[in-house]
Amino acid sequence: MKRTPVEQSDFRDPSMNGPSADAPQGLSLTPGRPSLLCCIHARCLCAAVFACFILAESEHRSLFNRAVRQERFVGSDQIAEIAPGVREVLAGGPSWCATFEIPSDPDRWVQFAVGIINAAYPHSEAPESRLGELGSFALEEWEPNKYINGKLALEDARSIACWIDRYFVAILGCDWDYSVDVRWQRLWDEQGRS
């Protein structure tokens, strides 16, 4: 059986004398009403737009939450207090050390010398998992509830200051608005004496 193409005249509304205006879309026989196909497309389009909106909203929320978590570690005031001490040590070379300390709690401290961190560690469990979230640090030695010591693989003052700030918050448990004092100390002079 040979099929013949459907012509517009095959889509007639019995109440009309001519073909339906929507006949080329094929499913509406009533003038002025959208075809069933158009309604299905419109609903699919609305659902797709809604799904994209939900996905975008979810991604936005995720990015916002991540930023809030990171903001918990980054205090611009504290970084502004820490960075000059880091710059001084970097300029002075390996014979200089900066000690950053919470004025109201001398048991919360971090020492920085070029490439080296020595810091209070008030925890009994191994520090690798806690320090992993900070990154850029290779632990060399530690003693439970006392200190950690290791190499810091950062070179610019701001990155180092951010790392130290995050250590104060994440490891030493400081509030995000803590204040910090800094002291510089010469570890040894040109002849190697301390």
Max Cα-Cα span within the chain: 110
DSSP state of 135: -
pLDDT higher than 80, residue 70:
no
The Cα–Cα gap between 57 and 55 comes to 5
Bridge partners of 85, per DSSP, are: none
Q: What global pTM score does this model have?
A: 0.61
Does any domain span residue 169?
yes
Q: Are residues 64 and 82 in the same domain?
A: no
Distance of CA 70 to the CA centre of its chain: 6
Does any domain span residue 168?
yes
pLDDT, tens digit (0-9, with 9 covering 90-100), for 6-48: 444 444 444 545 444 444 444 445 555 555 555 555 565 555 5
Range of the domain at 65: 32-73
Q: Which sign does the torsion angle of CA 191, 98, 85, 165 carry?
A: positive
pLDDT, tens digit (0-9, with 9 covering 90-100), for 92-146: 999 999 999 999 999 999 999 999 999 999 999 999 989 999 999 999 999 999 9
Q: What is the mean pLDDT of residues 149-173?
A: 97
Q: Are 150 and 181 within 8 A, CB to CB? A: no
Question: Which residue is associated with the tokens 């929320």?
Answer: 61
Final residue of a structural domain among 20, 52, 73:
73
The Cα–Cα gap between 190 and 46 comes to 74
Q: Are residues 69 and 140 in the same domain?
A: no
Does any domain span residue 47?
yes
Q: Total structural domains in the chain?
A: 2
Does any domain span residue 12?
no
Query: Cα–Cα distances in Å, from 42 out to 19, 26, 33, 54?
Result: 24, 16, 13, 18
Distance of CA 165 to the CA centre of its chain: 16
Does any domain span residue 3?
no
Q: What is the mean pLDDT of residues 151-167?
A: 97
| End-to-end alpha carbon distance in the chain | 105
